[in-house]
Structure 1
Amino acid sequence: MTTDNGLSFSFQNLSQRKMSFEDVFHHISQYMMKDETGNYCLMFGTDSQIHTNYTLFITGIVIQRKSKGAWACIRRVIIPRKMTNLHERISFETTLTEEVVSMFTEERKNLLIDIVLPHIYKGASFTIEGHIDIGSGKRNKTHIFVKEMVSRMESLGLEPKIKPEAFVASSYANRFTK
């Protein structure tokens, strides 16, 4: 099991391990350059799972070319205790998402925007979303945190998504928390 102690950033996917953030950014920009007229959505989200002696957090980064596939990777963080307080865990998930998003500086975001910008008149687009593993339904225990976590994503300039639209957190990252 690869762990990330929170001090370094190491990413992986099914075909590559120990990618640096530079590697991740390179893969994303190369993916976008394959079709500069595509409709791209860069999405971030974190999910967690409590295990016997630790809590595992997985942050997913997905660049999707709408209806034409995606490239994705994860960052794994292990906290060596059971995080049973729901608000603490949801807040930490959001913090981990914010950490990864912050690596995409304005300069880096502009580099990605510049890939599609000359092709906007052909329908090209680029959006950024923050996926939060919470739901607004009254039966969902996390519904009381929606406003707080959505505000945090909006403060980063991301379009917030909650369940059922938050698939990077609730589906992609979730897959790796087991």
Structure 2
Amino acid sequence: MNELTFQNLQEKEMSFEQVFDRIIKFMKLNPQGNYRLMIGTDSQVHHDYTLFITGIVIQNEGKGAWACIRRVYIQRKMEQLHERISKETSLTEEVVALFTEERKNCMIDLILPFIYQGATFTMEGHIDIGAGKLNKTKIYVEEMVARIESLGLEPKIKPNSFVASSYANRYTK
């Protein structure tokens, strides 16, 4: 599968251009909404490969969402936790980079006329790590959060990183 193709339950083999068009179409349904564009990646080590799933979710809070995933296979078992977490963050960064300034402005321009009626738009990077005392990934929180912040996104970690830890996770099995 081409690494830059996306899919969801309705459509397979979508280009990023098609994904972006679906996001714009979803936002145009209710431009006065409260939108969160969330991107996050999870992984699962399988017998002889590691599967990474990056989720893209556009949510109009309280009024639904549209989502898709991107699959990336690495043909080896990536058992080192830091390497896997770092690769997850890199794949999130790769998809975030597709949302150019022009594309971000296109999304913002849709809601701009409705800002004074309460319309909002935020972009979040969901990281499948947690800061809890017993969480093995807590030592990577500072590093991965800094990477997501450097992209201008609001970083979210467990339990608030549901695009990575729940939506993408569902497809890694």
Does TM, normalized by the shorter one, top 0.5? yes
Runs of 4+ in 1 over 6 A off after TM superposition: none
Alpha-carbon separation, structure 2, partners of 1:36 and 1:96: 29
Partner secondary structure for residue 152 of structure 1: helix
Could you tell me which residue of structure 2 aligns to residue 61 of structure 1? 56
Match of 1:20 among 9, 15, 24: 15
Could you tell me which residue of structure 1 aligns to residue 39 of structure 2? 44
Instruction: Give the CA deviation at 1:172.
Output: 0.1
Instruction: Give the CA deviation at 1:78.
Output: 0.2
Alpha-carbon separation, structure 2, partners of 1:140 and 1:36: 39
Give 5+ residue unaligned stretches, structure 2.
none
CA offsets 1:12-60 (integer angstroms, 9 cap, x no match): 0001000000000000000000001000000000000000010000000
Letter aligned with residue 65 of structure 2: A
Partner secondary structure for residue 24 of structure 1: helix
Matches within 5 A, 1:1-178: 3-4=1-2, 6=3, 9-178=4-173
CA offsets 1:67-118 (integer angstroms, 9 cap, x no match): 1110000000000000000000000000000000000001100000000000
Alpha-carbon separation, structure 2, partners of 1:14 and 1:79: 23
Instruction: Give the CA deviation at 1:138.
Output: 1.6
Partner secondary structure for residue 67 of structure 2: strand
Count of aligned positions: 173
Partner secondary structure for residue 134 of structure 1: strand
Partner secondary structure for residue 36 of structure 2: strand
Aligned sequence identity (%): 69
